[in-house]
Structure 1
Amino acid sequence: MPRRTPRTALDRLRTPRRFPKFLKAASVCVLIAGLLSPLSQAAAADTSVTAAANDYCGGQCSDILPPGENGNATLAQILLNQAFGTQPDHAEDQLAPYGNLASGYSTLTDSKINDFFNDASFGVASGQVASTAKPRSDVTIVRDKKTGVPHITGTTRYGTEYGAGYAAAQDRLWLMDVFRHVGRGQLTTFAGGAASNQGLEQEFWRNAPYTEADLQAQIDNAIAGNGARGQQALADANAYIDGINAYIDASDSGRYFPGEYVLTGHKDSITNAGTIDHFKLTDLVALASVIGALFGSGGGGEVNNAISLLAAQSKYGVTEGTKLWESFRERNDPEAALTVHDGESFPYASKPESPQGEALPDAGSVTQEQLVYDRTGGAATSTATSASATAATTSLTSAKRGMSNALVVSGKYTASGHPIAVFGPQTGYFAPQLLMLQEIQGPGISARGASFAGLSMYVELGRGQDYSWSATTSGQDIIDTYAVELCQDDYHYLYHGTCTAMDKVERTNSWKPTVADGTAAGSYRMQVYRTKYGPVEYRATVGGKKVAYTTLRSSFMHEADSIIGFQMLNDPDYVKSPATFQSAVQHINYTFNWFYADSSHTAYYNSGDNPVRATGVDAEFPVWAQAAYEWKNWNPTTNTADYTSASAHPNSVDQDYYISWNNKQAKDYTTASWGDGSVHRGNLLEDRVKKLVAAGGVTRSALVKAMADAALADLRAEDVLPDLLKVVNSSTVTDPTAAAAVGKLSAWVTAGAKRTETSSGSHTYADAEAIRILDAWWPLLVKAEFQPGLGSDLYTAFGNNLPIDESPSAAHGPTGSHAGSSFQYGWWSYVDKDIRAVLGESVQGGLSQKYCGGGSLSACRDTLISTLKEAAGKTASDVYPGDDQCSAGDQWCADSIVQRTLGGIKHGKISWQNRPTYQQVVEYTSHR
C-alpha cells in the first residue's frame, strides 16, 4: 500500500469536496465580500515613512520566514485557493526565495543575499509602504510592499502592545485560536473530531493537564515574583489581548474574519451569525504550554531507557549488559561535536559512581496510562498500551524540536572585523507558519524578528538596535520520572509515608460534523491523574510492588515564567553587551541554546531550570518517589527547587566560532538526547565553519554558503559511507551488481555527497541512483550489522530509544514525510564507531564490542555486500512508494518539503533542504 503522509490537525480543510452546496449558490456575494482582505480593510491613504532610527546594522541584517507573513484568509480566498491555486497577498511570497537558496547558494555574494532573504532593517523605505493603519491614536502599523510584515510603532507602551496584538490577529487569528484550544485539550470541540485533531490535543494535554485555575495561578506567580518587570509584563499582556480582541470585533463587523470559522461552523457566511470568542490572559499560558512542550522541554524517556537497560542485562548479564548499554547511550562521548569547544567542562546529569534510589520496572510490566475514556462515534485514535509502543510518539514530539541551527563567527576571523551570524530556529513547515514576523518600536521596546503566533507581545527571536539573538533547542534533562508506590488502590500513593489520593483532572470533548471534517459526531473523556510528583504516565511493578511512574518537569506550572527574559531581550536599555544578553536569557526557564552577535562580540548561553538532583540519583532512570531522591529543596506546592547556577550552564563569550545543530553543548554536559556521538549532523556545520575560520576573511555570503551546503548534505554519505566503502573495497568486488553500486556510491562521495537537483527546477537529482541505493541500503545494513549481536529484543529496544534512520524521504522516521528535518535521529555514530573498529582504526569512546561480522573484517565485508546487493535491486518505486503528495518512484517529490496545512490555504512544494524555518543573516557595523 502507498504510504500516507501523516495528516496534521485540520488537514481536511483543504478538501474542497466537503464544502457545502449552498456555497456554490452564494459564491458571488461571498466572493465580493470575502475578497476584501484584512490588510485592505485596515489600509489607509497615509503612506508616511517609518523612520529607521537606532539601527546599527548598516543594511546588513536579513531574515526569512516561509511561506509568508499573511496567515489569515477569508472564505472566498480559501475557495479560490482550492479551485485555482491563487494565494492571498503575502501568504506565499517568502516561500520561493527560501526554496531557491538550495540551487542558488553556490554563486552567492553579499550583494545577492537579499535575493533569498528579506531586508531586516528597521522601518520601511518611503517607496515600500503598502498600508498604514492606526487601530488606536497611539500606535501605527505600517506594512511593506515586499513581504507585508507589520512594523508597529507606538507612542505609549500600552498602544505599542495593543498594536502588536492587533497585528498578530491580522496575520494569525485562526492559528492562535487553534493552539489555545490545543493547549487546553479542547481542539476537537473547536475544530471537529478528525483523528488528527484528537491526536494533537491528546499529545499535549497529557503532558500539561492544566485546569483554568492552574493557568491563572501561573500568571499570578510569574508576575508576583518579578517586581516591576512582572507588573509591566502583565500590563503588556493585557494590552496585547485588547489588541487581539479589537481585531476580532473589527473583522466580525467588517466580515473579513478567517474563512475557517465558517468551515468549522463558528460563523455563517450568509447571515454572519455566530461568534469568535475573545481572547483572555489564560489563553496565552495555554499557548505557551504547547510551544514549551514542542521546543523547550528536554528530558524524560527514563522508562524507555530502563526497558532497554533491562533488555541488555537480560542478554549479557548485569555487568556486561550495563557496559553495553552505556556504550550505546554515549552520555559523554569524547568524539562528539561541541558548541563550547575550548575544553571547558560543565558537568550536569553525569553518571553517578554509585546510583541510588533506582526503581527499574519488572520486565514486561510497563503499560502506558490510559488517557481516553467513554468514546462515542467519530474517528478513533489508537492508544498505546506498552512503553515500547510509545517510542514513535515520543520521537515525533522530539523531532518537532529539531533542525534549528546556528553558525556564529568572531570578528577576529571575518573580512570586516565584525562578527557574523547565520542562525535560526526550526519550527516545522506549516500553513500558516507557527511563527510570524514583526517589528515593534515603542517605549522600552525596540526589536524586529519572529514570535510565536499568540505570544508576540515581544520579539522572541531576532534583532535589537545593535545586536541579534537566536536559539536552538538544547534538550538537557529537566524532566525526571518517579515511581510512586501505590496504596489502598490504583489511585492512591505513598507520599512521605502517608497514603495520599491522586488528583483527577478531566476534559470532556464532544463535536459535531463540520464542513471541514467528514467524521461523524462523537465525544470522549480525557482523564489524567496527577500526583505531587507530576502526572501519571505509566503503570508497572517494581520488585513486585505496584507503582505509577510520574513525570516531573521543572517548567510544569511555570509556562509563563519566561516572559521576563523575552521582555529583557526587547529592551534596548537592558541588553547592551554579551553579559546583559546572558543575564536576560537566564530568565528563560525552557531548554534552549542562545546565541548573540553585535558589532564587536559574540556570546552563547544555555538556558533552562536545571534541577539540582539528590546525590547518587541517575537522571537516566526512574527513581523512587521518596524524600531522599527528590530535587534539592523541592516544594511540591509550587514545583520549585534549587537549580544549577548560571555559571554551571554552558556559556561562552567571544569563542572563535560557535556551531549548533541540536548537538552536545559542552564537555561533561549530558543531554537527554541519544545519538550525541562521533557522527552527528552538527559535524556538517563544524567541518565547514572550522575550515572558513582557519582561512580567515569570512563574509556573510561565505557563512550562508556553509549553512546551505550543509543543508543539502547527506550525513550518512559524507561521514559514514567512506568507511563503509573501505570495508567493501578491502578486497576486489567481483559481484557485478555490488560493483556497479559501489561505483555509483563512490562517485557520489567524490562529487560531494549532496542531494541536489541536476539544475534548478529540474526535480531530478544528480547522483539519483546512488541516493536511491543508500536510502535503501541504510536500514538493511544497520539491521544486518547489529541485530545478530544484540538480538532482536535488544535491537528493538535500542531502536525505541533512537530510530535508526531519518533520511529526507523516510516516512518511517520520527518526523514523517515532507517535513524537511533530517539526520537528527539515526545510528550514524554507532555504524561509524563499529566500522572503524572493524577496520582497526582508533576509536575513542567505542562500543563495548564489535558487531559487523562479529568483528571479522571479511565477515563484515560479506554482510555489507549482501545487503548492498539487496538494496541495489530495489526499484525507485520500492524505495519511494508514493503517498498523497507524490507518485511512486518520484525521488525528488518524496524528499520535497510540504507546508502542512493548519488552515484552509495550501502551498506548493519546495526542494528538500535541512535548514531552519526562520533564519537571520547579520553583521553589525557599529554599536551604541
Structure 2
Amino acid sequence: MPRRTPRTVLDRLRTPRRFPKFLKSASVCVLIAGLLSPLSQAAATAAPSAAAANDYCGGQCSDILPPGENGNATLVEILLNQAFGTQPGHAEDQLAPYGNLAKGYSGLTDTKINDFFNDASFGVPSDQVASTTRPRSDVTIVRDKKTGVPHITGTTRYGTEFGAGYAAAQDRLWLMDVFRHVGRGQLTSFAGGAPSNQGLEQEFWRNAPYTEADLQAQIDNATAQAGERGKQALADANAYIAGINAYIDASDSGRYFPGEYVLTGHKDSITNAGTIDHFKLTDLVALASVIGALFGSGGGGEVNNALSLLAAQSKYGVVEGTKVWESFRQRNDPEAVLTVHDGESFPYAVKPDDAQGQALPDAGSVTREPLVYDRTGSAGTAAATGASTTAAKTSVSSAKRGMSNALVVSGKHTASGHPIAVFGPQTGYFAPQLLMLQEIQGPGLSARGASFAGLSMYVELGRGQDYSWSATTSGQDIIDTYAVELCQDDYHYLYHGTCTAMDKVERTNSWKPTVADGTAAGSYRMQVYRTKYGPVEYRATVGGKKVAYTTLRSSFMHEADSIIGFQMLNDPDYVKSPQTFQSAVQHINYTFNWFYADSSHTAYYNSGDNPVRATGVDADFPVWAQPAYEWRNWDAATNTAQYTPASAHPNSVDQDYYISWNNKQAKDYAAAPWGEGSVHRGNLLEDRVKKLVSAGGVTRSALVKAMADAALADLRAEDVLPKLLKVINSSTVTDPAAAAAVSKLSAWVTAGARRTETSAGSHTYADADAIRILDAWWPLLVKAEFEPVLGSDLYTAFTGSIPVDEAPSAGHGPTGSHAGSSFQYGWWSYVDKDIRAVLGESVQGGLTQKYCGSGSLGACRDALISTLKEAAGKTAAQVYPGDDQCSAGDQWCADSIVQRTLGGIKHGKISWQNRPTYQQVVEYTSHR
C-alpha cells in the first residue's frame, strides 16, 4: 500500500472533485465573468512611493519568502487555479527563485544574489510602484511590482498600525481566520470535519486550553505590567484589529473576499449572504498560542523520559541502567557543536548530584489523558472515545521540532570589514505561507521583514534602519511535569495539603458537509482538566498512589507577553547597538536564539522565561507537586516565578562567528531535547563557516554558498558514513553486491555527499543509487548495531525518545513528508561514537559500552555488510513507496518540498533543500 502523506488543514479545498457539479459545468464561465469585475481591492491609483526612511544597508540587504506575498484568492481565482493551474498575482513568484538556489548557488557572486533573493531595501522606487492604497488619510500602502510586498507608511502611529492590519488582511485573511479558530480548538466548526482539521485543533488546544476569559486576562496582564510600552502595545493592537476589520467590510461589500469562505459555507457566491466575523483582541492571543506552541516552547517529555529510564533500569539494574540512559540522553555532551564557542559556561538544567522529589511512575501504570469524547459522524461512531489508552512509548510528540538556521560572521573576517549574516526561521512550507512580508514606517516604527499572519503589527524577523535580526528555535526546557496526588476521586488533587477540584475546560465542535469537505455531518467534544500545576496530560501510580501528571510551562497564560520585545525591535529609537538589541529580546518569553548584525557588530542572545528550579530537581523527570519542588517564588494564580537572570542566558557580542541550526547553545546549557551530541546538523554549518573564517575575506555570496551547500548535504553521509566505510574496508570486501554498494557510497562521499539534481530541472539525483542505498541502510544498520545488546524493549523505548532517522523523504516534522527541514533528530551521534569506539579511536562522552558487534571489529563489520547488502537489494519503489504527491520509486519527488495547502490555491513542488523558509542576506555599510 502506498503510504499517505499527512494532510494539512483544509487540504480538501484543493481537490476539484469536491466542487459541486455546477462549478465544473460550462456555467462556471458565466460565473467567472460575473465575478471578475469586483476584483480590484480598495482604491488603487498609480502614485510615486513615499521617500524611503533612513536606510544604511547600501543596497546589500536581501530576503526571500516562498511561495509569494499574496495569500488571498477569490472564488474565481481558486476555480481557475484548480481547473487550469493559473496563479493569482504574487501568489507564487518567490517560489522559483527560492527553489533555483539549489542548483544556482555554485556560481553565485555578490551581484547575482538578487537572482535568488529580493532587494530588501526600504521604500519602493517610483518606477516600481504597482499600486497605492489609502485605507485612511494617515496611512499609505504601496506595493511593488516584483513581489507585491506591502510598504506601509503612516503619518500617525494609529494610522500606521491600522495600515498594517489592513495589509495583513489583504494578504492573509483566510489563513488568519483559520488559525484564530485553531487556537481556540474550534477549527472543525469553522471549516468542516476533515480528519486533518480535527487533528490540528486537538494538537494545539491540548497545550493551550484557554477560555475567553483566559485570553482577555492575558492581554490585560501583559499590557498592565509593561507600563507606557504596554499602553502603546494595546493601542497598536487595537489599531491593527481595526485595519483588519476595515478590510473585511470592504472586501465583503466589494465581493473580493477569499473564496474559501464560499467553499466552506460562510458566504453565498450568488447572493453574497453570510458573514465574515470581525477580529477582536483575543484572537491575537489565540493566534500567538499556536505560534508559541509550534516554535517557542521547549522542554516537556518528562514522562517519556521516565518510561525509557525505567526500561533501561529493568534491563541493567538501577545503577547501570541509569548510566546507560544518561549516555543516550547526552544532555551535556562535550563533543556537541556550540553556538557560543568561546568556552564561556552557562549552566542551566544540569543533572543534579542528588535528585530530589522525583515521581517516577510504577511500571505499566501510565495512561494518556483522553482528549476526545462523544464523537459522531464520518470520522467515528457515536460511542464515547474517552477511555484511557496506554501511553505510546514510540511517541515523539515531546521532541520539539527544531527549525531555522543562522550564519553570522564578524567584520574582522570579511572582505569589507563589515559583518555579514545569512539567517532566517524555518517555519515549514504552506500555501499560503504562515509568515508574510511587509515594511512598516511610522512614528516609533521602522522595519521591514517577516511576521506571522495575524500578528504583524510589528515585524518579528527582519531589519531596522541599520541593523538586522533573526531567530532560530532554541528548545531549552521551560516545561516541567508535576505528579499531583489525587484525593476523593480522579478529579480532585492535593494542593498544598488541601483537596482541590480540577477545573474542567470543554470545547464542543460540530460541522456539516461543505463544498470543501466530503465528510458527513458530525460532532465531538474535547475536554481538558486543569490544575494549578497546568493541564493533566497523563495518569499513573507512583509507589501505589494514584497521580495525575500535569504539564506546566512558564509561558502558559503568558502568550501575549512577548509583544513588548517585538515592539522594541521595531523602534529605531530603542535598538541602536548590540546591547540594546539584547535588552529588547530579553522581553520575549518564547525559547529562541536571537542573532544581530549591524555595520560594526554582531550579537547573540537566548531568550525565554527559564524558571529557577528548586535545589535537587532534575528537569528531565516528573517531580512531586509539593512546595519543596516548585519553581522558586512560583505564584500559582499568575503562573509567574523567579527566572534566571539575563546574564545567565547564553549570550555573546562580537564572537568571530556564530552558527545555529537548533544545536546546543553553550557549554553546560543542558536544557535541550535529545540528540545534541557529536554529530548534529549544526556541524554542517560549523565546518563550512569555520573554514571561511580561517581563510578570511568572507563575502555575502561566500556565506550564502556555505548555507546552500549545507542545505543539500546528507548529514549521515558527510559525518558518519566515512567511519562506517572505514569499518567495512578494514578487510577486503569480497562479496560482489557489497563491494558494488561500497564503491557507490564511497564515490558519493568523495563527490561531497549532497542530494542534488544532475542538472536544474532534471528531477533526477546525481549519485541516485548511493542515496537510495543509504536511505534504505540507515534504519537497518542502526537496529543491527544496537538492538542485539540493548534488547528489543529498551531499543524501542529509546527510539520513542529520539527517532532513528529524519531523512528528507521520511514522514516527519509538523508538516509530515515534503517538509524540507531534515536531519534534526536521529541516531547519528550514537552511531558515530560507537563506531569510533569499535575502531579504537578517542571518544569524549562516549556510550557506556561498545554496541556494534558487541565491541568486536570483525563482528561489527559483518553486521554492517549484511545490512548493507539487504539495503542495496531494495528497489527504489520499496525505499520510496509513494504517497498522495508522488509515484512509488520517484526518489526526487519523495524528497521534494510541497507547499502544504491551507486554502484553495496549490503550488508546484521544488527540489529538496534544508534551509530557512524566510531568509535574509545582509551586510550594512554604515550606521547612524
- Please indicate, yes or no, whether the TM-score normalized by the shorter chain is above 0.5: yes
Distance 1:588 1:500, change over 3 A: same
- How far 1:48 sits from its partner (Å)? 1.1
Distance 1:549 1:697, change over 3 A: same
CA distance in 2, matches of 1:390, 1:51: 63
- How far 1:383 sits from its partner (Å)? 14
Distance 1:479 1:129, change over 3 A: same
Assess if the C-alpha contact under 8 Å between 1:45 and 1:131 holds in 2: yes
Q: Summarize deviations over 1:350-384 as a string: whole Å, max 9, x none.
A: 00000000000011111100111111113149999
Assess if the C-alpha contact under 8 Å between 2:396 and 2:800 holds in 1: no
Query: Equivalent residue for 1:418?
Result: 418
Assess if the C-alpha contact under 8 Å between 1:396 and 1:815 holds in 2: no
Assess if the C-alpha contact under 8 Å between 2:372 and 2:385 holds in 1: no
Assess if the C-alpha contact under 8 Å between 2:372 and 2:386 holds in 1: no
CA distance in 1, matches of 2:212, 2:309: 40
- How far 1:396 sits from its partner (Å)? 6.8
CA distance in 1, matches of 2:885, 2:397: 23
Assess if the C-alpha contact under 8 Å between 2:401 and 2:813 holds in 1: no
Deviates more, 1:145-154 or 1:21-30: 21-30
- How far 1:538 sits from its partner (Å)? 0.2
CA distance in 2, matches of 1:123, 1:320: 64
Distance 1:168 1:661, change over 3 A: same
Query: Equivalent residue for 2:22?
Result: 22
- How far 1:215 sits from its partner (Å)? 0.1
CA distance in 1, matches of 2:4, 2:468: 40
Distance 1:168 1:372, change over 3 A: same
Assess if the C-alpha contact under 8 Å between 2:66 and 2:433 holds in 1: yes
Q: Summarize deviations over 1:168-202 as a string: whole Å, max 9, x none.
A: 00000000000000000000000000111000000
Distance 1:207 1:822, change over 3 A: same
- How far 1:883 sits from its partner (Å)? 1.0
Distance 1:414 1:394, change over 3 A: farther
Assess if the C-alpha contact under 8 Å between 2:805 and 2:823 holds in 1: yes
CA distance in 2, matches of 1:679, 1:295: 23
Distance 1:618 1:311, change over 3 A: same
Assess if the C-alpha contact under 8 Å between 1:806 and 1:814 holds in 2: no
Unaligned segments of structure 2, at least 5 residues: none
- How far 1:20 sits from its partner (Å)? 1.4
Q: Summarize deviations over 1:824-881 as a string: whole Å, max 9, x none.
A: 0100000000000000000000001100000000000000000000000000011011
CA distance in 2, matches of 1:382, 1:359: 37
Q: Summarize deviations over 1:243-264 as a string: whole Å, max 9, x none.
A: 0000000000000000000000
Q: Determine helix, strand or coil for the equivalent of 1:41.
A: coil
- How far 1:402 sits from its partner (Å)? 2.5
- How far 1:598 sits from its partner (Å)? 0.1
Distance 1:142 1:632, change over 3 A: same
Query: Equivalent residue for 2:222?
Result: 222
CA distance in 2, matches of 1:14, 1:261: 14
Unaligned segments of structure 1, at least 5 residues: none
CA distance in 2, matches of 1:672, 1:803: 16
Assess if the C-alpha contact under 8 Å between 1:37 and 1:74 holds in 2: no
Distance 1:30 1:150, change over 3 A: farther
Distance 1:396 1:119, change over 3 A: farther
CA distance in 2, matches of 1:464, 1:390: 51
Q: Determine helix, strand or coil for the equivalent of 2:722.
A: helix
CA distance in 1, matches of 2:505, 2:524: 14
Q: Determine helix, strand or coil for the equivalent of 1:148.
A: coil
- How far 1:29 sits from its partner (Å)? 7.0
Assess if the C-alpha contact under 8 Å between 2:566 and 2:584 holds in 1: yes
Assess if the C-alpha contact under 8 Å between 1:356 and 1:617 holds in 2: yes
Distance 1:773 1:260, change over 3 A: same
Distance 1:16 1:772, change over 3 A: same
Assess if the C-alpha contact under 8 Å between 2:764 and 2:891 holds in 1: yes
Q: Determine helix, strand or coil for the equivalent of 2:331.
A: coil
- How far 1:21 sits from its partner (Å)? 2.5
Query: Equivalent residue for 1:348?
Result: 348
Deviates more, 1:671-680 or 1:775-784: 671-680
Q: Summarize deviations over 1:431-455 as a string: whole Å, max 9, x none.
A: 0000000000000000000000000
Q: Summarize deviations over 1:552-585 as a string: whole Å, max 9, x none.
A: 0000000000000000000000000000000000
How many residues end up aligned between the 2 structures?
928
- How far 1:23 sits from its partner (Å)? 2.9
Query: Equivalent residue for 1:788?
Result: 788
CA distance in 2, matches of 1:629, 1:570: 39
Q: Give the TM-score, by structure 2 length.
A: 0.98
Q: Summarize deviations over 1:678-726 as a string: whole Å, max 9, x none.
A: 0000000000000000000000000000000000000000000000000
Distance 1:479 1:33, change over 3 A: farther
- How far 1:52 sits from its partner (Å)? 1.8
Assess if the C-alpha contact under 8 Å between 2:6 and 2:815 holds in 1: no
CA distance in 2, matches of 1:600, 1:866: 56
Assess if the C-alpha contact under 8 Å between 1:38 and 1:251 holds in 2: no
- How far 1:34 sits from its partner (Å)? 7.6
Distance 1:58 1:728, change over 3 A: same
CA distance in 1, matches of 2:345, 2:11: 47
Assess if the C-alpha contact under 8 Å between 2:578 and 2:653 holds in 1: yes
Assess if the C-alpha contact under 8 Å between 2:502 and 2:531 holds in 1: yes
Deviates more, 1:14-23 or 1:336-345: 14-23
Assess if the C-alpha contact under 8 Å between 2:337 and 2:683 holds in 1: yes
Q: Summarize deviations over 1:151-176 as a string: whole Å, max 9, x none.
A: 00000000000000000000000000
Q: Summarize deviations over 1:634-681 as a string: whole Å, max 9, x none.
A: 000000000000000000000000000000000000133100000000
Distance 1:898 1:384, change over 3 A: farther
Q: Summarize deviations over 1:613-650 as a string: whole Å, max 9, x none.
A: 00000000000000000000000000000000000000
Q: Determine helix, strand or coil for the equivalent of 1:394.
A: coil
Assess if the C-alpha contact under 8 Å between 1:714 and 1:755 holds in 2: yes
Assess if the C-alpha contact under 8 Å between 2:374 and 2:385 holds in 1: no
Query: Equivalent residue for 2:537?
Result: 537
Q: Determine helix, strand or coil for the equivalent of 1:399.
A: coil
CA distance in 2, matches of 1:607, 1:795: 35
CA distance in 2, matches of 1:8, 1:653: 41
CA distance in 1, matches of 2:808, 2:847: 27
Assess if the C-alpha contact under 8 Å between 1:37 and 1:256 holds in 2: no
Distance 1:558 1:393, change over 3 A: farther
CA distance in 1, matches of 2:643, 2:431: 38
Distance 1:43 1:62, change over 3 A: farther
Assess if the C-alpha contact under 8 Å between 1:294 and 1:397 holds in 2: no
- How far 1:497 sits from its partner (Å)? 0.8
Distance 1:699 1:385, change over 3 A: farther
Q: Determine helix, strand or coil for the equivalent of 1:397.
A: coil
Assess if the C-alpha contact under 8 Å between 1:819 and 1:898 holds in 2: yes
Query: Equivalent residue for 1:377?
Result: 377
Distance 1:425 1:647, change over 3 A: same
- How far 1:389 sits from its partner (Å)? 9.1
- How far 1:49 sits from its partner (Å)? 2.2
Query: Equivalent residue for 1:61?
Result: 61
- How far 1:46 sits from its partner (Å)? 2.9
Distance 1:913 1:38, change over 3 A: farther
CA distance in 2, matches of 1:680, 1:382: 47
Assess if the C-alpha contact under 8 Å between 1:388 and 1:800 holds in 2: no
CA distance in 1, matches of 2:195, 2:813: 20
Assess if the C-alpha contact under 8 Å between 1:744 and 1:770 holds in 2: yes
Q: Determine helix, strand or coil for the equivalent of 2:882.
A: coil
The CA RMSD over aligned residues, in Å, is 1.9
CA distance in 1, matches of 2:618, 2:913: 38
Distance 1:710 1:383, change over 3 A: farther
Q: Summarize deviations over 1:314-333 as a string: whole Å, max 9, x none.
A: 00000000000000000110
CA distance in 1, matches of 2:765, 2:23: 43
Query: Equivalent residue for 1:585?
Result: 585
Assess if the C-alpha contact under 8 Å between 1:39 and 1:170 holds in 2: no
CA distance in 2, matches of 1:660, 1:382: 49
Query: Equivalent residue for 1:691?
Result: 691
- How far 1:39 sits from its partner (Å)? 7.5
Assess if the C-alpha contact under 8 Å between 1:367 and 1:387 holds in 2: no
CA distance in 1, matches of 2:607, 2:208: 21
Q: Summarize deviations over 1:282-321 as a string: whole Å, max 9, x none.
A: 0000000000000000000000000000000000000000
Distance 1:717 1:38, change over 3 A: farther
Distance 1:917 1:421, change over 3 A: same
- How far 1:74 sits from its partner (Å)? 0.4
- How far 1:38 sits from its partner (Å)? 8.6
